[in-house]
Amino acid sequence: MMWYTVEDGRIHRIQCAKLPTEDGEWKKAPDGWLGDAGDKLEWFDSNMNRIPDDELIKRGIRLDKRGVWFNKVTRETKQIYNLDESIDEDIFTKEIPIENEPYQIYDKEKNKWIVDIEKKELADKQNKLGQLKSEIAAAEQKQIRPLKLIIENKAKKEDTAIYNKYETIIETLRPEVTKLENELKSA
């Protein structure tokens, strides 16, 4: 036979014996009883039969937040494993972030992740600026040998042509660099 005590609306102690051996207000549990210490009394019907968790969830008696949650700012995950475990839904969402998109924010009004266009455009400009500066550096590197020959008055027509070709590339790219640098300063 199973016996149980109740404290603060929960199953407090359980004993399996013909009669309880300890003091307290023991109640006899029905045959095949599935109660555990800590269970809330509202999880049982009037005959103390355990109501299935799915039904308790449906009735709003138990909380089911199980699954992976995402921080709305950092996108870090938090796993909820147990029933009745709560989570701050102002900080976390079950909405899955956009795959392979580093520039996103959680839009609370739309209740979904959206691309952060400003950050993405800023990053694209920074990347473009880096690429342009690399192209200029590469062109300047390729100008060194012809420039050396020009300075030493040993340059041939091809050397001057090579120097001028890369000077044109540099002069074409510099205004784009200046424009991007100014845009990034004002961002």
Task: Let me know whether 54 and 26 are in one domain.
Answer: yes
Residue that is last in its domain, among 39, 59, 79: 59
Residues 13 and 52 in one domain: yes
Domain count, the chain: 3
Mean pLDDT to the nearest integer, 29-47: 92
What mean pLDDT comes out for the span 20-26? 83
Query: Is residue 36 scored above 80 in pLDDT?
Result: yes
Residues 44 and 72 in one domain: no
Q: Give the closest residue to 147 by CA, choosing from 170, 164, 171.
A: 164
Average pLDDT over residues 53-74: 96
Amino acid at 63: L
Q: Round to whole Å and give the CA distance between 77 and 123.
A: 25
How far apart CA 95 and CA 75 sit, in angstroms, is 10
Confidence (pLDDT) at 21: 78
* Residues 71 and 47 both lie in one domain: no
- Domain hosting 180: range is 118-186
Mean pLDDT within 159-182? 96
Residue 32 burial by CB count (10 A; 0-12/13-18/19+): exposed, middle or buried?
exposed
Domain co-membership, 175 together with 146:
yes
Residues 48 and 72 in one domain: no
Q: Per-residue pLDDT tens for 121-145?
A: 999 999 999 999 999 999 999 999 9
Residues 122, 72: one domain?
A: no
Per-residue tokens: 116:
């952060």
Q: pTM score > 0.95 for this model?
A: no
Tell me: do 48 and 31 sit in the same domain.
yes
Q: pLDDT at position 18, please?
A: 86
Whether 39 and 51 share a structural domain? yes
* pLDDT above 80 for 187: no
Same domain, 175 and 157: yes
